[in-house]
Amino acid sequence: MKRDPPPAERQAQEEDAGEQKTPLWIFGYGSLVWRPDFEFSSRKVGFIRGYSRRFWQGDTFHRGNEKMPGRVVTLQEDYDACTWGVAYEVCGEQIAASLQYLNMREAVLGGYDTKLVKFHPQDKEAEEPILALVYIATPQNPTYLGPASEEDIAAQIIVSSGRSGHNIEYLLRLADFMRYFCPQVEDEHLFSIEEALVSILPCLCQAEEPLVEV
């Protein structure tokens, strides 16, 4: 059964990209914060309300493989929470091009669906929230892994690598983004996994050292 495209994608299909006057905003909270890989007109750091970022999505392409899936982030509905990231403004021909690229990167290869959310820019001059498109992996997709302890998630990340690089890089880049661009925010889930990973790595390295005869 063919699934109808979400509103933002349907808009890009129905209108000629060169004639579109209304920009589209795309909110990223994972690898999109440092590697969008599509053309955009502007970007803003900010947050969306009602969601928590969680390393609950399995990845068998970008940061893992079929035998050893990686762990990447998705959003979990959480009324009191906020998730920080980057919103990208795409205009004109950029809209269709970015949606086509992201449909393959996030939906086909990643298992993510789309949803429209209200994005609140970090910039204090912005008065109203911006409607933005976001990609969310739900429990219904086949590579969804669900909750696990921070230690178990870190252990899985350490041994996983895919076509976009090692899963460790994904975790550390996301943690660095939060520290540099959102220093006032304490992302407990993210930083706890990073801490668990750092504590495991020395033990792993020591175990892999060759024995030296005395």
In tens, the pLDDT along 20-63 reads 569 999 999 999 999 999 999 999 999 999 999 999 999 999 99
Structure tokens at 49: 């309300």
Please check whether residue 214 lies inside any domain of the structure: no
Q: Which of 9, 106, 150, 194 is catalytic?
A: 106
9 a catalytic residue: no
How many CB atoms within 10 Å of residue 22?
A: 8
Please check whether residue 212 lies inside any domain of the structure: no
How many CB atoms within 10 Å of residue 49?
A: 15
Please check whether residue 209 lies inside any domain of the structure: no
For 117, the enclosing helix (H) or strand (E) is strand 113-121
Structure tokens at 30: 């994972």
For 200, the enclosing helix (H) or strand (E) is helix 188-208
Average pLDDT score over residue span 89-116: 90
Domain that holds residue 170: 7-200
CATH number for the domain including 36?
3.10.490.10
Beta bridge partner(s), residue 77: 51
Count of positions (residues) in the chain:
214
Please check whether residue 72 lies inside any domain of the structure: yes
Euclidean distance between CA atoms 133 and 135, whole angstroms: 7
- The count of domains in the chain is 1
Residue 16 pLDDT = 40
Which whole-number Å values give the CA distances from 31 to 5, 36, 106, 167, 173, in the listed order? 23, 7, 10, 11, 8
Answer whether residue 110 shows pLDDT above 80.
no
Do 114 and 38 form a contact (C-beta atoms < 8 A)?
A: no
Residue 124 pLDDT = 72
